[in-house]
Chain A
Amino acid sequence: MIQVIHAQDLLKALEAETVEKSQPTIATFKGTHISIGHSVETRKKGVLEISSMNRFWNRPIPDSEPTQTFVADKWNSRVGLDYGVLDRFTVGAGYSTDNRSVDVFGKYRLFYQRDSGKTFPFSITLFQGGVYREKSSIRLPLYEGSPMEKEVSSKDKFAATTQVLIARKISRNFSLQIAPTYVYRAEDGLVADESAHHFALGFGARYKVSNHVSIVSEYYYVPNPVDFVDTYGPFSLGANWELSDVLLQFKLTNARDFVEDQFIIKTGNNFNFRDGNLHFGFHATYFIQL
């Protein structure tokens, strides 16, 4: 009897002495990318991440023509480095092969979601990216009305993306993100009656199926797509698998590029299973604590 009373007392006494502290909610998403776009997550101070991002796809070739390519006809790849300058501030840079582009970005965690103590419902991160793309997607007439074409000048090969990433870890398994996005693409402004300014709204979600595997999906809605070429909203469906220091991301998507301005505004094919439209994506991110 004495023991029972004692035991209950001890746990109650410990409980009574507890001071509840407000803790930020961790791991809304596991990586700095949900699938194709950025997530609210930043890396902690002193963390270096090396990432290899790849997309594979087949060219649309009529059935009568034999194909000779092994596994996939085309491949686009981006190698990137991300570094956590502060717990809240991550910078990164990368090079993609398809358009020979060099991109840099910075993202700053403005608010952490807090579920206990002093609560806050969302995580909010500001994202700013910039890119120089050597291979332009458009050709300009040499002079007014000329059939000859010229290359876009270097100063018009820049583009920038600004995003407000807003996410909530709704339950321990399910997280949702909304991303109002502004894109500036200098080369689009050169086309008659087109603007260099674009807006989009991104949606992203992840569902954790086990402690190490989650299913992720992303879609960007572009309300005013460009007129001079057919574009489609980029969509992605994939799985993320965590293995100690490595994060593996597999996906099916219609987005061919890795840099935000290009895949959000200029994805030129729809999402379906035909050659030329279906892209298989594989990202590997290696984590190093410096």
Chain B
Amino acid sequence: MNKLLLLLVSVYSISFAHAQDGYITRQGEVTFFSYTSVENIQATNNQVLSLFYPSSSRIGVQILMRAFTFKKSLMYEHFNESYIESDLYPKATFEGDIIGFDANQEGSQTRIIKGTFTLRDITKPIEMKATIIKTNGAYTISGELEVLIKDYEIKVPPILSPNIAKNIQVSFKFQYVPNDDQK
């Protein structure tokens, strides 16, 4: 019993040790596009929070839905009020691992990121191709993915369904710096 406890403590402290080498960005950029023949919609969020642990190749992302900006102010209102319902579900989160990531490799490497994406309290497994660039001890991760609106139960009234794409194209770019203010 004591040994088991010791094991648990040591596992916990290993994961805690991983957290020590964390990198952070608060100005991560996430952009989504909805292309249809009727209407093109694009929105950008420049305030995405992300944590990255190179030694365990784990990555976490938190997106504040209200921080997406649209060219048309009415779309901002419809996005938050009628589709995403950001008063009920203010955040979207992603957590995952970079498969086969080498923390020591300088320069660029292209890898698959596997994880789970939570939007409107619905969690789905997701996979994307990403480019990780290491320069002077800082990391930049960028990539693209596709999100199906029906996976996250985003309701579009039939009369408006030609205006909103079934597959939303998402691109992201996170420029990490070492996270100094860790407890």
Q: Which residues of A contact B (CB under 8 A)?
A: 1-2, 5-7, 9-11, 13-19, 23, 26-27, 30, 43-44, 46-47, 172, 211-212, 242-245, 287, 289
Contacts and interface: CB of A to CB of B under 8 A. Distances in A.
B173 interface: no
A223 to B, nearest CB: 36
Interface in B50-108: 51, 56, 58, 60-62, 66, 71-74, 76-78, 80-83, 85, 87-88, 93, 95
B163 interface: yes
Contact of A13 (B26, B60, B73): B60
Contacts of A26: 76-77, 80-81
B24 interface: yes
A14 B60 contact: yes
A54 to B, nearest CB: 22
A243 B164 CA distance: 13
Contacts of A289: 71-74
B15 interface: yes
B81 A211 contact: yes
A30 B82 CA distance: 11
Interface string B121-140: 00000000000000000000
Nearest to A47: B73
Contacts of B88: 172
A287 B74 contact: yes
B74 to A, nearest CB: 5
A13 B19 contact: yes
A211 B26 CA distance: 31
Interface of B: 8, 11-12, 14-16, 18-19, 22, 24, 26, 39, 49, 51, 56, 58, 60-62, 66, 71-74, 76-78, 80-83, 85, 87-88, 93, 95, 155, 157, 159-160, 163, 183
Given A10-B58, A11-B60, A23-B66, A172 B11 contact: no
B11 A17 contact: no
A2 B16 CA distance: 11
3 A-B pairs closest in CB distance: A44-B73, A211-B82, A10-B60
B15 A47 contact: no
Given A13-B19, A47-B73, A244 B163 contact: yes
18 contacts: A6-B15, A9-B15, A13-B60, A14-B60, A15-B62, A16-B183, A17-B24, A26-B81, A27-B80, A44-B73, A47-B74, A211-B85, A211-B157, A212-B157, A243-B159, A244-B163, A289-B72, A289-B74
Contacts of B82: 211-212, 242
B51 A13 contact: yes
Nearest to A14: B62
A92 B155 CA distance: 34
Contacts of B183: 16
Contacts of B157: 211-212
A6 B58 contact: yes
A247 to B, nearest CB: 9
B104 to A, nearest CB: 21
B67 to A, nearest CB: 9
A88 to B, nearest CB: 13
Nearest to B181: A17
A24 to B, nearest CB: 10
A155 B22 CA distance: 74
A27 B160 contact: no
B93 A11 contact: yes
A242 B24 CA distance: 40
Nearest to B7: A1
A172 B80 CA distance: 12
Contacts of B85: 211
A157 B19 CA distance: 74
